[in-house]
Amino acid sequence: MAGSAVTTVTARKGRGVVRVDIDLTCSGGAVSATPIGSYFGRLVAVLADPTAGAGATMTSTADILLTDHATGAAILSDLTFGAAAFYYRPTTNIVDNAGATVAAATTAVDVNRDIFVAGKLDIAIANATTTDTGRVTLVFEEAA
Amino acid sequence: MAGTAVILGGAPALHRSRGVVRIEADLTTDASGVVTEFTAGEAWGRLVGIAYDGGLATSGTITVKDQKTGATLFTLTSTSGTKVYARPSTVIVDNAGTAVTAAATAPNVNRDIKVAGKVNIVVAAGGNALTGKFALIIDEAGLGTKAVNV
């Protein structure tokens, strides 16, 4: 066989709706990519509190970066931590079966769909200030 | 009766849901940039995510196929060093097999790709002896938004 390929199949019994709270403490204005556990389902909510923790309030322009641990690919890249607590439901723009982004148009509606994850995830913070602290919470919907 | 039609294995293939499943492949190309087609695993549901670490050469293509028919399900063209996390879809066809063109009278023509059975992966033009990691995420539990993604 030319080249080689080793595959790993991973599945886990669903836990229903799962919440993970992540307390962040920056060093040099950043948190390096840190594993936050394994999840198998849809990412249905992101919440954050820039005032959580004993340190200085998280810089409002700090970046929240959620990545797939194995590939390093960015799942969520929010470049504004914000000055107040927030909640949102994230989605992603679909691609076609050749990997090209499907542009929204009057002829192409509903191009934003839920983000699915499967496996270990990492979180990182960038562009904060010295030892800022804050909290990020993620909610996943796994199979019941 | 003219001709024959035989169901392989003697019965329709069924599968018990495993929830959300990740099939991850560590790829190593040969000197020609090829990884010969191989069976990556089985998937029974919607292909709701792909993840790629950007390890192969620019213009390298990763093709995901249905094993039994060889039909292409999804293709990703690599840009070296660019990681990708995406939710794939496909344009629906009508009952004559013709792609439905997006129009004001036909919006939302992109739907989730469904797979059922063994899935193969093949790499072409991926660069000399390069490595890459490519993962498929399959929702076997039917967690998707109803009415839109079914």
Summarised one tens digit per residue, pLDDT across range A15-66 is 999 999 999 999 999 999 999 999 999 999 999 999 999 999 999 999 999 9
How many residues are listed for chain B in this entry? 150
Contacts of B45 in chain A (CB under 8 A): none
Kindly state whether B73 is in contact with chain A, defined as any CB-CB distance less than 8 angstroms: yes
Q: Note whether ipTM > 0.85 here.
A: no
CB A53 within 8 A of CB A106: no
Report residue B147: phi and psi, to 5°: 75, -25
Largest CA distance in chain B: 57
Summarised one tens digit per residue, pLDDT across range A87-121 is 999 999 999 999 999 999 999 998 999 999 999 99
Q: Which residue has tokens 């192409």?
A: A108
Kindly state whether B88 is in contact with chain A, defined as any CB-CB distance less than 8 angstroms: yes
Q: Cα torsion at A53, A57, A60, A66 (round to 10°)?
A: -20
Nearest beta carbon to residue A71 from set B18, B53, B91: B53
Alpha-carbon gap: B6 to the closest alpha carbon of chain A (Å) = 30
Q: Is A88 exposed, middle or buried (0-12, 13-18, 19+ CB in 10 A)?
A: exposed
Taking alpha carbons only, the member of B67, B62, B58 closest to residue B123 is B62
pLDDT at position B40:
96
Taking alpha carbons only, the member of A6, A89, A98 closest to residue A47 is A89
| Angle subtended at Cα B44 by Cα B48 and Cα A7, rounded to the nearest 5 degrees | 80
Report residue B10: phi and psi, to 5°: 90, -10
